[in-house]
Structure formats: structure tokens, C-alpha cells
């Protein structure tokens, strides 16, 4: 996976409505919490997304934007956002191009690892957490990042 201090690769992916969203566009709002997750509606991914949702006031106060990336379709993301009232962007990487660019594919190239990056407006990765099964580490990462700003 990409290391702290590395330049985050530019990308454009469709959001839950099918509209293209670029990394540069997300970063134009300020620092970005970019998280990768395996699949919509799975127990672990649902818990993780709901933790990000529940931290939204900290995220907003810090001036961060949140975007999640997984290989499901925009339609799946739309249903996932609606069901769990997720206030952030979900991006569809069906061909797993961005997943490979950020080096977060699972063992032997299968699946997607649960990884969260903090990226500054200059496209530099400031921090990263990998916690495939310890989902609470991602929420702690967000809280820690929000208090540093």
C-alpha cells in the first residue's frame, strides 16, 4: 500500500449517482479521508461506514471530506447510502483500477483490504491505517486526525 509521504494518485470514479468524482475535486474542499472497503452491506463494512457517519461532526469540524471506495456499482452504493443514511461520498471502482493504484488489493490480488488514508490538499498522504478486521481502528484514526487539525 502507498506509504506516508507518497503522492496520492489522481483518479476519477463514479459516485452513488453515477456522476464522476476526481481526487482533485475532493481535495479542493480540504483534507480528505479516503477509505477503501470490501463490499456494501457486509457486517464489517456496514459497521465501518456507520462509524464514519457517527463521527461526521468531528469530520466537519476538522474541515475534512470523506470518500469511501469499493468495487460495487453506483446503484449498490446508492442503496447502501440510503439504508444507513451515510452523509459522505461512495465511489465505485468496479474494475479495481484505483484499488490497485493505492495498492490495497487483498492477498494474491483478490478482494480489497480495509485501509484508510488521510490526504492533504497537495495530494500527499499524511497518515494511513490498515485494519482489515479491527474496524474500530479506523474510527480512532479519524478522531486522532480531527484533533490534530
Q: Domain ranges for the chain, please list them.
A: 12-148
Higher-pLDDT residue of 30, 109? 30
Say how far apart CA 133 and CA 29 lie, in whole Å: 30
Mean pLDDT of 103-109: 84
101 CB neighbour count, 10 Å cutoff: 14
Q: Looking at the domain that runs over 12-148, which CATH code has it been given?
A: 3.40.30.10
6-34 confidence digits (pLDDT tens): 999 999 999 999 999 999 999 999 999 99
CB-CB contact of 110 with 20 (8 Å): no
For the CA atoms of 36, 40, 41, 46, the dihedral, rounded to the nearest 10 degrees, stands at 30
Q: Say yes or no to pLDDT of 94 above 60.
A: yes
pLDDT band at 87 (very low <50, low <70, confident <90, very high): very high
pLDDT band at 68 (very low <50, low <70, confident <90, very high): very high
How confident is the model at residue 92, as a pLDDT? 98
Dihedral of CA 140/114/38/12: which sign? Answer: positive
Mean pLDDT of 93-107: 94
Please give the share of the chain, as a percent, with pLDDT higher than 90.
Answer: 74
Mean pLDDT of 61-76: 95
Residue 2, SS3? coil
CB-CB contact of 105 with 99 (8 Å): yes
Helices 43-54/136-148 angle, 10° precision: 20
Which are the catalytic amino acids? 45
How confident is the model at residue 76, as a pLDDT? 98
Average pLDDT, the chain: 92
Amino acid at each position: 500500500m502507498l506509504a506516508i509521504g507518497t503522492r496520492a494518485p489522481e483518479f476519477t470514479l463514479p459516485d452513488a449517482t453515477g456522476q464522476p468524482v476526481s481526487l482533485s475535486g475532493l481535495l479542493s474542499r480540504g483534507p480528505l479521508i479516503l477509505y477503501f472497503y470490501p463490499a456494501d452491506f457486509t457486517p464489517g463494512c456496514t459497521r465501518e461506514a456507520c462509524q464514519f457517519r457517527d463521527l461526521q461532526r468531528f469530520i466537519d469540524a476538522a474541515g475534512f471530506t470523506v470518500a469511501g471506495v469499493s468495487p460495487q456499482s453506483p446503484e449498490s452504493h446508492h442503496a447502501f447510502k440510503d439504508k444507513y443514511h451515510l452523509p459522505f461520498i461512495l465511489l465505485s471502482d468496479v474494475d479495481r483500477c484505483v484499488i490497485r493504484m493505492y495498492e490495497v488489493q487483498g492477498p494474491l490480488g483478490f478482494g480489497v483490504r480495509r485501509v484508510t488514508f488521510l490526504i492533504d490538499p497537495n495530494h500527499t498522504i499524511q497518515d494511513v491505517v490498515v485494519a482489515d478486521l479491527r474496524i474500530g481502528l479506523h474510527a480512532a484514526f479519524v478522531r486522532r486526525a480531527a484533533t490534530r487539525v
